[in-house]
C-alpha cells in the first residue's frame, strides 16, 4: 500500500462515493424502514453491525496503521457501553421488578439509597462525557505505562489481553455494584423516548450511521496527513522513526487513546440497540473477533474493517438461523479461505483481479510479439 504513505489530498471521486453510501445509510434505509420496505428487525440488526464496525475501525487504526495488535478493544467498547448503560438504568426509574427508583440489582443487594457514584448518571450529558473520559483515562494510563516501557509486539497484545481479562473479572463481581454477571438489561427510555419503539430504534440507527461516517471521514483525513505518515512509519520501522527525532511513544499513545474513544462510542451506541451489557462483552474473544473482522475486510484500509464487521456479522446472523449446527464451520471455513487466498481481505479482491489480469496479459504479450515478429520476417 505504498500510495497511502504519500501525503496527498483525497480524490473528489472518493468524497462522492462516501457521500452516496452515507446518504444511503442515513437517509434511504430509515426512509425505507418508515414506509415498511425494511423491517424494524433489519434496521435494528444493521444498527448493531454499524456499532461493530466502529469497534473494528478502532482495532484497525491500531493494528493496520500503527502495527499495534491490541486485544483490549472489547474492554473500551464495553466501558462505553457500561457508561451508557448506567444512564439507561437510571431512566428505568421505578418501573423495575421492585418498583423503587433504583436499579433492581442494587435493591436486591440491600442498598437503601443510590450509591454516590451512580447519582450523576441520571444526567445524559454527564453519561456521554463519561463515555469518553473513563475509557480514555484507562487507555491513557495503560498506554503511558506500556509505551514508556517500550512494550511492543506480542507483549503489547498479551498485556492488553490481561487488562481486558482483569477488568471482566472485576465487573463479574457483585461488589462492583455494576450488576455482576447479569449486567444491565430491561432498559425503557432514552432521552424520554421509549427504547423499545421502532421509531427510537430508527433514530439510534441514524445516529450510529452518522457517527460512523464522521469517524470514517475524520480518520481518512488523519491517516493521509503528516501525522498519518509518522503513524505508519512507526508501524514499518519504529527505530528509524525514533532516530529521526520523533517521539514514537507519544504518537502511539495518542493513537491508542483515540482508538479507545472510537471503540467506546461504538459501545455506547451498541447497548441501547441490543438492550444488554454484561461483563462477557469484555472478554478477549470479543477483541479477537474484531481482529478477525478487520482481517476479513482488509487490514490497513479504513473501509476494510467496516466491510468486514458488517459482512461477517451478517453472515453470522443468517447462519445461526439457517444452519444452527454448522454455522461455526461455515464461518471458520471462510476465515481460512481469506487468510490463505486473500491476504488483503475482501476489499483486496478488485486489486487481486487486476493483478491477475495484468499477469495474464503479460504472459500473452510476449507470444503475440513473437508472432508479429515472425509474420514481419516472413513478409520480409
Q: Which residues pair with 276 in a beta bridge?
A: 185
Q: Is 264 in the site for other proteins (CB under 8 A)?
A: no
In the bound complex, what is the minimum distance in angstroms from residue 204's beta carbon to other proteins? Answer: 14
Q: In this structure, are residues 4 and 232 in contact, taking their beta carbons and an 8 Å threshold?
A: yes
Q: Which of 9, 36, 110, 245 binds other proteins (CB under 8 A)?
A: 110
- Provide the 3-class DSSP secondary structure of residue 189: strand
Q: Which of 278, 284, 287, 294 binds other proteins (CB under 8 A)?
A: 278
Q: Is 14 in the site for other proteins (CB under 8 A)?
A: yes
Q: Which of 39, 123, 244, 375 binds other proteins (CB under 8 A)?
A: 39
Q: Which of 145, 158, 169, 339 binds other proteins (CB under 8 A)?
A: 169
Q: What is the DSSP letter of 184?
A: E
Q: Is 330 in the site for other proteins (CB under 8 A)?
A: no
Q: Is 38 in the site for other proteins (CB under 8 A)?
A: yes
Please state whether beta strands 184-185 and 276-277 pair in parallel, antiparallel, or not at all (unpaired). antiparallel
Q: Which of 31, 326, 358, 370 binds other proteins (CB under 8 A)?
A: 326
Over the window 199 to 218, marking each residue x when it contacts other proteins by CB under 8 A and - when it does not, the resulting string is --------------------
Please state whether beta strands 189-190 and 184-185 pair in parallel, antiparallel, or not at all (unpaired). unpaired
Distance CA 75, CA 39 (A): 31
Q: In this structure, are residues 184 and 103 in contact, taking their beta carbons and an 8 Å threshold?
A: yes
Q: Is 358 in the site for other proteins (CB under 8 A)?
A: no
Distance CA 195, CA 197 (A): 6
Kindly state the greatest CA–CA separation across the chain. Answer: 105
In the bound complex, what is the minimum distance in angstroms from residue 169's beta carbon to other proteins? Answer: 6
Q: What is the DSSP letter of 107?
A: H
User: How many residues belong to the chain?
Assistant: 380
Q: Which of 87, 187, 205, 251 binds other proteins (CB under 8 A)?
A: 187
Nearest to 203 by CA among 47, 19, 32: 47
* CB closer to other proteins, 49 vs 256: 49
Q: Is 93 in the site for other proteins (CB under 8 A)?
A: no
Q: What is the DSSP string of 269-310?
A: HHHHHH-EE-GGGGSHHHHHHHHHHHHHH-TTSSHHHHHHHH
Give the Cβ contact number of residue 91 at 10 Å. Answer: 20
In the bound complex, what is the minimum distance in angstroms from residue 232's beta carbon to other proteins? Answer: 18
Q: Is 34 in the site for other proteins (CB under 8 A)?
A: no
Q: What is the DSSP letter of 194?
A: E
Cell of 133: 473520559
Q: Is 352 in the site for other proteins (CB under 8 A)?
A: no
Q: Is 238 in the site for other proteins (CB under 8 A)?
A: no
Backbone angles phi and psi of 276, in degrees to 5: -155, 145
CA dist list (Å): 308 to 37, 145, 223, 317: 25, 32, 19, 14
In the bound complex, what is the minimum distance in angstroms from residue 99's beta carbon to other proteins? Answer: 13
Q: Which of 26, 30, 46, 71 binds other proteins (CB under 8 A)?
A: 46
* CB closer to other proteins, 60 vs 104: 104
In the bound complex, what is the minimum distance in angstroms from residue 172's beta carbon to other proteins? Answer: 6
Q: Is 350 in the site for other proteins (CB under 8 A)?
A: yes
Q: Is 180 in the site for other proteins (CB under 8 A)?
A: yes
- Provide the 3-class DSSP secondary structure of residue 277: strand
Q: In this structure, are residues 94 and 101 in contact, taking their beta carbons and an 8 Å threshold?
A: yes
Residues found near other proteins in the complex (CB under 8 A):
11, 13-14, 17-18, 20-21, 24, 29, 38-42, 44-46, 48, 97, 104-105, 108-112, 169, 172-175, 180-183, 185-187, 196, 270, 274-276, 278, 280-281, 298, 301, 303-304, 306-307, 310-311, 314, 317-318, 320-321, 324-328, 346-347, 349-350
Amino acid at each position: 500500500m505504498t500510495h497511502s504513505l504519500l501525503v496527498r489530498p483525497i480524490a473528489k471521486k472518493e468524497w462522492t462515493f462516501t457521500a452516496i453510501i452515507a446518504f444511503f445509510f442515513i437517509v434511504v434505509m430509515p426512509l425505507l424502514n418508515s414506509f415498511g420496505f425494511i423491517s424494524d428487525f433489519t434496521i435494528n440488526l444493521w444498527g448493531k453491525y454499524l456499532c461493530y464496525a466502529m469497534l473494528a475501525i478502532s482495532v484497525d487504526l491500531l493494528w493496520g496503521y500503527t502495527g499495534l495488535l491490541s486485544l483490549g478493544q472489547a474492554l473500551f467498547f464495553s466501558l462505553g457501553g457500561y457508561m451508557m448503560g448506567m444512564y439507561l438504568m437510571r431512566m428505568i426509574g421505578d418501573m423495575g421488578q421492585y418498583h423503587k427508583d433504583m436499579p433492581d440489582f442494587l435493591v436486591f443487594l440491600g442498598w437503601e439509597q443510590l450509591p454516590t457514584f451512580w447519582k450523576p448518571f441520571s444526567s445524559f450529558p454527564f453519561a456521554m462525557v463519561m463515555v469518553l473520559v473513563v475509557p480514555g483515562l484507562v487507555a491513557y494510563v495503560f498506554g503511558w505505562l506500556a509505551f514508556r516501557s517500550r512494550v511492543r509486539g506480542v507483549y503489547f497484545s498479551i498485556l492488553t489481553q490481561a487488562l481486558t481479562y482483569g477488568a471482566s473479572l472485576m465487573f463479574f463481581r457483585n461488589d462492583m455494584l455494576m450488576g455482576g454477571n447479569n449486567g444491565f438489561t430491561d432498559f425503557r427510555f432514552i432521552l424520554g423516548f421509549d427504547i423499545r419503539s421502532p421509531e427510537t430504534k430508527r433514530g439510534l440507527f441514524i445516529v450510529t450511521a452518522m457517527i460512523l461516517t464522521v469517524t470514517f471521514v475524520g480518520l481518512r483525513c488523519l491517516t493521509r496527513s503528516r501525522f498519518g505518515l509518522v503513524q505508519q512509519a512507526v508501524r514499518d520501522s519504529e527505530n528509524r522513526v525514533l532516530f529521526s527525532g520523533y517521539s514514537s511513544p507519544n504518537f502511539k499513545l495518542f493513537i491508542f487513546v483515540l482508538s479507545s474513544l472510537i471503540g467506546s462510542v461504538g459501545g455506547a451506541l451498541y447497548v441501547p440497540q441490543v438492550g444488554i451489557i454484561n461483563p462477557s462483552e469484555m472478554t478477549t474473544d470479543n477483541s479477537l473477533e474484531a481482529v478477525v473482522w478487520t482481517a476479513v475486510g482488509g487490514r490497513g484500509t479504513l473501509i476494510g474493517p467496516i466491510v468486514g464487521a458488517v459482512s461477517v456479522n451478517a453472515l453470522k446472523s443468517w447462519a445461526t438461523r439457517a444452519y444452527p449446527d454448522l454455522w461455526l464451520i461455515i464461518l471458520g471455513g471462510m476465515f481460512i479461505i481469506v487468510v490463505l487466498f486473500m491476504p488483503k481481505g475482501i476489499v483486496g479482491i478488485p486489486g487481486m483481479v487486476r493483478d491477475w489480469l495484468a499477469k495474464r496479459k503479460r504472459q500473452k504479450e510476449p507470444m503475440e510479439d513473437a508472432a508479429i515478429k515472425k509474420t514481419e520476417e516472413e513478409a520480409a
